[in-house]
Amino acid sequence: MEHTNKVQDNQSNQYTRQAYQKGYFGRYGGIHVPGVLKEKLDHLAFTFNEIKEKGDFVNELNYYYRDYIGRPSPLYYAHRLSEHVNSRIYLKREDLNHTGAHKINNTVGQILLAKHMGATEIIAETGAGQHGVATATAAALMGIKCKIFMGRKDAERQQMNVYRMKILGAELVTTERGTATLKDAINAALEYYVDHPEAFYLLGSAVGPHPYPSMVRYFQSVIGNEAKNQFMEKENRLPDAIFACVGGGSNAIGMFSGFLDDPEVKIYAAEGGGEGEILYKTASTLVMGKPVVFQGTFSYCLVDEEHNPIDTYSMAAGLDYPGVGPEHSYLKDTKRAEYFTVTDQEAIEAFKILSRLEGIIPAIESAHAVSLAMKMMKDQEAVSIVNLSGRGDKDMDRQLF
């Protein structure tokens, strides 16, 4: 297998180097956990920083990216959508990856790392179910026992992904606590992780304590690296703007990482707005939240007057989360990226338009990014890329029409 740098994202930024070594993006990030868990995370960070520089590991990862996941994913010019918006729009087709979303990039990478560390069990959390499916898939591929934690509410609204996880051999553990959504699944998984030192916690997004935000960024950076190279080949220039949806933020940070050093490229992100910018009826963390310590990291979070995390709402299970990754918080504060609220109804409309104009049914999460691009690029003489992070099979039994 040829050694390439396909999965090695740009480490020239000082803040990126600091993130890999110390876990901070500006003032955001860190390890805010009990001592027993910090020891495990310190060991994980050391091992990850060591192994990601080794050619054998990179070669093996690129082999699975190419021959198992099906990378590179296409960069498709959306002709009819572009005509509809009167602007030129490309779609980065992460929905065409094996399992139907970007999540598999991260799970294959982390399970390769887990095998190197001698783990005997993989645990993970999931909201929309795509990370759970991707984790169960990679665990089956590598022959490792797998346990997935999921909120009851998410399990009910993502039944197809629940069935997929079970047929892949994973044990599903549902939780009733809190709102029975993603944040509650993460809490349940973290508790199990503390009590079971032989397990490897495969966190699905660029959130949580160090090294997870940097580690997930690394494995998802293949999206931005590919998109940049593909766009240059097609257009012989950089895009004017890039778009992605943000819940925890892994697909977005994967796309954004390829363009952060290109100030001429505008970076836009769509958050799950639910019913609008109303507390308890939205999941628009970066638009309405405040910086606090939440689930092991210092980052923006939707909180009440006492700075306690609040219940959130978005019809998109993958965006229904009160926190966000620390790098997104840094990008917001430095104004390198802009974050916007996209409501359920706006996402549903984009879901219908993309399906009917391009024959591509997006995940409802991805439809948020499509909606934002349609709004911001309308009648613009510009060329943009939307990261289509997942396909919409999982949303077919919901009331979207």
Q: Which residues on neighbouring strands pair with residue 90, listed in sequence order? A: 77, 385
Q: Which residues on neighbouring strands pair with residue 391, listed in sequence order? A: 362
CA distance 345 to 35: 44
The set of catalytic residues is 103, 125, 389
Residue type, 336: R
Contacts of 184 (CB under 8 A, 6+ apart): 151, 175, 177, 178
Residue type, 323: G
Contacts of 344 (CB under 8 A, 6+ apart): 273, 274, 275, 314, 315, 316
Q: Which residues on neighbouring strands pair with residue 246, listed in sequence order? A: 271
CA distance 11 to 123: 29
- State how far the alpha carbon of 276 is from the alpha carbons of 70, 269, 283, 322, 346, in Å: 37, 16, 9, 15, 10
Are 325 and 353 in contact by the 8 Å Cβ rule? The answer is: no
Strands (E) located in 199-304:
199-201, 241-246, 266-274, 290-294, 297-301
Segment (H or E) for 384: strand 383-388
Are 94 and 102 in contact by the 8 Å Cβ rule? The answer is: yes
Torsion 213-214-217-218 (CA) sign: negative
